Amino acid sequence: MVYKALHLGLSQDRAIKKVPKQGMRPGEAHYLKTLRHPGIPILYDIEEDESFLYLIEEYLQGCTLYDLVLNQGTLLPETVFAYGKQICEAVHYLHSAGNIPVLYLDLQPKNLMVCEDAIKLIDFDCAANIQEANQSPRRYGSPGFFAPEQESFGQLDERTDVYAIGKVLFFMSTGHSGAPGEPPGHGTVGRVIRTCLCQEKEGRYASVRALWEALLDAEAQFAAGPPLLTVGVSGSRPGVGATHLALGLCSYLRSIGLTVVYEEENQSGAVDSMSGALGLKKDRGGCFNLCGLALRPYYGKAVDIQDHPRQVTVRDFGHGRRIGRDAQRLRCDADIILCGGQPWERDADGQALAWAKQCQRAVTLYRNRRRPGRLGIFGDAWEVPYFTDPFGIGGQVPVFYEQLWAAIGGKKEVSLRKSRLGRIFRKTGRKAAWWG
User: Rule CB under 8 A: which residues touch another protein?
Assistant: 267, 269, 282, 284-286, 297-306
- Which residue number, 296 or 367, has a Cβ lying nearer to another protein? 296
- Which residue number, 299 or 434, has a Cβ lying nearer to another protein? 299
For residue 222, the minimal CB distance to another protein (Å) is 20
Locate all alpha helices (DSSP H) within 50-186, ordered by sequence: 65-72, 77-96, 130-135, 148-151, 158-174
Q: How far apart are CA 144 and CA 221, in angstroms?
A: 29
Q: How far apart are CA 260 and CA 258, in angstroms?
A: 6
- Which residue number, 98 or 269, has a Cβ lying nearer to another protein? 269
Q: For residue 387, give the nearest of 395, 379, 376 by alpha carbon.
A: 395
- Which residue number, 262 or 387, has a Cβ lying nearer to another protein? 262
Q: How far apart are CA 53 and CA 145, in angstroms?
A: 29
Q: How far apart are CA 382 and CA 375, in angstroms?
A: 9
For residue 297, the minimal CB distance to another protein (Å) is 8
Q: How far apart are CA 415 and CA 291, in angstroms?
A: 24
- Which residue number, 269 or 385, has a Cβ lying nearer to another protein? 269
Q: How far apart are CA 236 and CA 337, in angstroms?
A: 7
Cβ 251 vs Cβ 303: under 8 Å:
no
Q: Which amino acid is at 275?
A: S
- Which residue number, 329 or 431, has a Cβ lying nearer to another protein? 329
Cβ 280 vs Cβ 227: under 8 Å:
no
- Which residue number, 288 or 387, has a Cβ lying nearer to another protein? 288
Q: Which amino acid is at 100?
A: I
Q: What are phi and psi of 10, to 5 degrees?
A: -100, -5
- Which residue number, 298 or 355, has a Cβ lying nearer to another protein? 298
Q: How far apart are CA 148 and CA 308, in angstroms?
A: 36
For residue 315, the minimal CB distance to another protein (Å) is 16
Order the strands of the 118-121 sheet from edge to edge: 63-64, 112-115, 118-121
- Which residue number, 184 or 297, has a Cβ lying nearer to another protein? 297
- Which residue number, 301 or 427, has a Cβ lying nearer to another protein? 301
- DSSP-derived 3-state class of residue 307: coil
Q: How far apart are CA 289 and CA 280, in angstroms?
A: 7
For residue 50, the minimal CB distance to another protein (Å) is 41
DSSP bridge partners of 383: 366
For residue 412, the minimal CB distance to another protein (Å) is 36
> Which run of H or of E encompasses 28?
helix 28-33
DSSP bridge partners of 339: 366
Q: How far apart are CA 77 and CA 248, in angstroms?
A: 19
For residue 139, the minimal CB distance to another protein (Å) is 43
For residue 367, the minimal CB distance to another protein (Å) is 27
For residue 244, the minimal CB distance to another protein (Å) is 21
For residue 126, the minimal CB distance to another protein (Å) is 36
Length of the chain, in residues = 436
How many other CB atoms are found less than 10 A from the CB of residue 411?
A: 13
Helix 397-407 vs helix 410-428: crossing angle, to nearest 10: 70
For residue 298, the minimal CB distance to another protein (Å) is 6
For residue 268, the minimal CB distance to another protein (Å) is 10
- Which residue number, 301 or 357, has a Cβ lying nearer to another protein? 301
